[in-house]
Amino acid sequence: MHSLQDCTASPESKEAMPQLSRYELLEQERITQQIAEEQQTFRNELASLNVDGTRKWIYPQETQGRYTAARNIVAYILLGFLCAAPFIRVYDNPLIMLNILERKFIVFGVVFWPQDFYLVVLGLLTFILGIAVFTSILGRIWCGWTCPQTIFLEFVFRRIERWIEGNARQRIAFDKAPMNLRKLARKALKHSVFFVLSWILCNVFLAYIIGVEELFRIITEPPSQHIGGLTAMVVCSGLFYGVFARFREQACFIACPYGRFMSALVYPETLAVTYDFKRGEPRRRPSRADKQETITEPRGDCIDCGQCVSVCPTGIDIRNGIQLECVNCTACIDACDSVMRKIRKPIGLIRYASLQAIQQGRSSYLTPRVKGYVAILLVMITVFTALFLRRPQTEAVVLRQPGTLFQRVADDKIANFYTVQVINKTFQPKTLEVRIVEPQQATLIALTDNRTVPAQHVWHGRFLIVLPATVLYNPSTTITLAVLTDATLVKEVKTTFVAPVQ
Ligand code: SF4
Ligand code: SF4
C-alpha cells in the first residue's frame, strides 16, 4: 500500500476552470475540501465520520461508463434472481430455501434434509474458502458486484433517492435547506417508499427461510394465529429499512465480517481497483500557465479533479491506496476514464490491477499461497461431491407410536402401534412396503392406505403389529422389519414390541 499524503492539491483550481457554473464551482470546492480532509486522516479515521465521531453523510455522484453499464446488467439479473428464487418451483419445491429453523435446505431444487446437515456444513465451508480464494486473486469482487447489500443500496434505494431528491448536488442543498412543507412531503415520500420496499424485501427474505406457503399463511390468516411470524416480519422490515435508509455503507465497515477479513486475504498481487500512482503523480490541476506553456516541473496524468472521490459510495480517495472501505465498485474507474477522455489521455489511470503490477509493470496472480488455497478448495469440492453422490436417496425411520404401550385384541393377541417416516430424496415417487422379518408369527396391518411417497418429500404412515400372547415371554421383544421402496430394501430396522408381563 502506498501513501501519497505529501501530494497536496494545487491552489489554482478556480483559475483553471473559468467556464464552470457557480454550482459547479461550489461542488468543486466541496470535493477539494473532502479530498484535503481525507488526505489528512485516511489512515486514522473512516471517510464517512467527522473528527468528533459523528456521521459524515455521503452523497455519491452518479457515474456512466463501461463498468457502470456492466454492473447494471449484473445487478438487475441478480436482483431478479434473488427476488424470484424462493417462488420458482422445481419438482414442487422452491428453487432455493434456507430453512435454518428446521435445518432443511433446498439449493437449485436439491433438498438437503436434517440428515444431510453434514453436507450443508461442508458446503458452507467450501463456499467460504471459495470466497477466500476469489478474494486473494480478484480482491473484493464479491462486494462491488454481487453482494446483496451493494446491489439493493446502489441499484434500488439510492436510485429512488435520486428520483425523489435529485442528484448529489441537489441532495446536499436539499438536506441543508430549512424544513418546509415541500421538503417534508419529499422526505415523507422517500421514507414511505423505502419502508414499503423494506417490507417487500423482508417478505422475500422470509420466503427463503420459512418457504412461500408459510409466508402466505402469515399474511392471509388472522394475525392472532401468527404473532411470532408477524413480529419477525415487523422487526425484519425495520432492520432492512434502517440499513438502507440510514446505516448504508457503514454496514460494510462495521457489521460485515467479510470486510474485516480483507487485510488478511489481499496481497500485493491481488487484483483490485487501484490508482496508477506512477502514471498519475505528481498530480496537478490545469491552470492558465498550461496554455502559456510555462510549466517546467514534472507532472502526472492526474489533474486532481476529485471526480473519483465524488462518485465513491464510501467517500474515500482511492489515490491513497487500497483501503478497508473500498468495496471495489469501480465507480471511480468510470469517473476517471471519462476525465481522461476529456483531457485526451489514455484511460485506466484508475483500473483493475494489482499493486505489484503498478509498481513493477507485471504481476503474477498465481502465487504459492493462492495455489495452496486452490489445492485445498479442490480437495473440499471433491470430498463434498463424493459425499453428495453417495448420500442415501431414501431413508426410513420406524418408531413405536410415542405414548402407547400395547393393546389386547381378539384371540388373545397383543398389538403395538408403529409410525414410519420415509424421506424420498429422488425426483420420482416411490411405493413403500414394510415387511416383517422376524418373529415369523407376527402380522402387520397397515393403517395408511396411500403408500406412495412423492418425490423430494417426507412421508408419514402408521401400522399395527399383532403377535399371539403365547409367544411373548418377556415384556419387551425385539422385532425386525424390512422397509422397501419399489421392492428395493432401504433399511432393516430393529424395534421393540411391548407386552403385558405373563
Ligand atoms: S474507491 Fe473506487 S472502487 Fe473503491 S469504493 Fe470508492 S468508488 Fe468504489
Ligand atoms: S478522477 Fe482521475 S484525474 Fe480526477 S482526481 Fe481522480 S485520479 Fe485524478
Taking only the tens place, the pLDDT of each residue in 142-161 is: 899 999 999 999 999 999 99
Mutate to test the pocket of ligand 1, among 312, 322, 324, 325 (most ligand atoms within 8 A of CB): 312
**Is 339 found in the same domain as 468?**
no
Q: What is the model's pLDDT at position 198? A: 96
pLDDT above 80 for 261: no
Tell which of 347, 366, 385 closes a domain: 366
Q: What is the model's pLDDT at position 158? A: 95
CA distance 249 to 235: 21
pLDDT above 80 for 115: yes
In a domain, 381, yes or no: no
In a domain, 326, yes or no: yes
**Is 210 found in the same domain as 105?**
yes
Q: What is the model's pLDDT at position 335? A: 96
Mutate to test the pocket of ligand 2, among 285, 303, 309, 343 (most ligand atoms within 8 A of CB): 303
In a domain, 97, yes or no: yes
Ligand 1 centroid from CA 89, angstroms: 38
pLDDT above 80 for 172: yes
> Hey, whose CA ends up nearest to atom 3 of ligand 2?
302
* Contact by Cβ (8 Å): 419, 462: yes
**Is 227 found in the same domain as 333?**
no
Pairing of strands 272-275, 394-400: unpaired
Q: What is the model's pLDDT at position 206? A: 93
Q: How far is CA 141 from CA 154, 259, 299, 349, 376, in A?
A: 15, 12, 32, 19, 21
pLDDT above 70 for 447: yes
In a domain, 270, yes or no: yes
Mutate to test the pocket of ligand 2, among 38, 273, 336 (most ligand atoms within 8 A of CB): 336
Q: Which domain holds residue 421?
A: 394-498
292: pLDDT confidence band, cut at 50, 70 and 90? low
In a domain, 494, yes or no: yes
491: pLDDT confidence band, cut at 50, 70 and 90? confident
**Is 421 found in the same domain as 307?**
no
Find the range with the poorest average confidence among 105-109, 270-274, 277-281, 329-333. Answer: 105-109
Cα angle: 485, vertex 488, 490; to 5 degrees: 70
> Could you tell me which residue, 5 or 403, shows the higher pLDDT?
403
**Is 90 found in the same domain as 55?**
no
19: pLDDT confidence band, cut at 50, 70 and 90? low
> Hey, whose CA ends up nearest to atom 1 of ligand 2?
336
CA distance 440 to 437: 7
Q: What is the model's pLDDT at position 262? A: 73
In a domain, 205, yes or no: yes
pLDDT above 60 for 218: yes
**Is 446 found in the same domain as 325?**
no
**Is 171 found in the same domain as 304?**
no
> Hey, whose CA ends up nearest to atom 6 of ligand 1?
312
Instruction: Give the count of beta carbons closer than 10 Å to the beta carbon of residue 425.
Output: 19
pLDDT above 80 for 366: no
**Is 402 found in the same domain as 328?**
no
Please report which helix (H) or strand (E) contains residue 430, including its range. Answer: strand 430-438
Ligand 1 centroid from CA 54, angstroms: 22
pLDDT above 70 for 9: no
Ligand 2 centroid from CA 274, angstroms: 12
**Is 194 found in the same domain as 219?**
yes
In a domain, 380, yes or no: no
Average pLDDT, the chain: 85
Pocket of ligand 2, beta carbon within 6 A: 275, 280, 283, 302-308, 319, 335-336, 339, 349-350
Total of domains in the chain: 3
Ligand 2 centroid from CA 310, angstroms: 10
Render pLDDT for 435-445 as a digit per residue (tens, 0 to 9): 999 888 888 98
Ligand 1 centroid from CA 414, angstroms: 76
- Which residue shows C-alpha cell 510549466? 295
In a domain, 134, yes or no: no
CA distance 318 to 312: 9
368: pLDDT confidence band, cut at 50, 70 and 90? confident
CA distance 30 to 22: 12
53: pLDDT confidence band, cut at 50, 70 and 90? confident
Which one of 8-22, 135-149, 163-177, 276-290 scores highest in mean pLDDT?
A: 163-177
Tell which of 224, 248, 272 closes a domain: 248
Render pLDDT for 380-435 as a digit per residue (tens, 0 to 9): 999 999 999 888 888 888 988 877 888 888 878 899 999 999 988 888 889 888 89
**Is 239 found in the same domain as 92?**
yes
Render pLDDT for 323-338 as a digit per residue (tens, 0 to 9): 888 999 999 999 999 9
Tell which of 248, 274, 293 closes a domain: 248
10: pLDDT confidence band, cut at 50, 70 and 90? very low
Q: What is the model's pLDDT at position 86? A: 92
Supply the DSSP symbol for 145: I
CA distance 87 to 80: 11
Q: Is 318 in the pocket of ligand 1 (CB under 6 A)?
A: yes
**Is 421 found in the same domain as 322?**
no
Mutate to test the pocket of ligand 1, among 309, 332, 352 (most ligand atoms within 8 A of CB): 332
Q: What is the model's pLDDT at position 38? A: 61
Q: What is the model's pLDDT at position 117? A: 86
What pairs with residue 417 in β-bridges? 464
502: pLDDT confidence band, cut at 50, 70 and 90? low
CA distance 74 to 148: 12
> Could you tell me which residue, 20 or 442, shows the higher pLDDT?
442
**Is 189 found in the same domain as 95?**
yes
**CATH number for the domain harbouring residue 478:** 2.60.40.10
Question: Average pLDDT, stretch 309-314?
Answer: 93
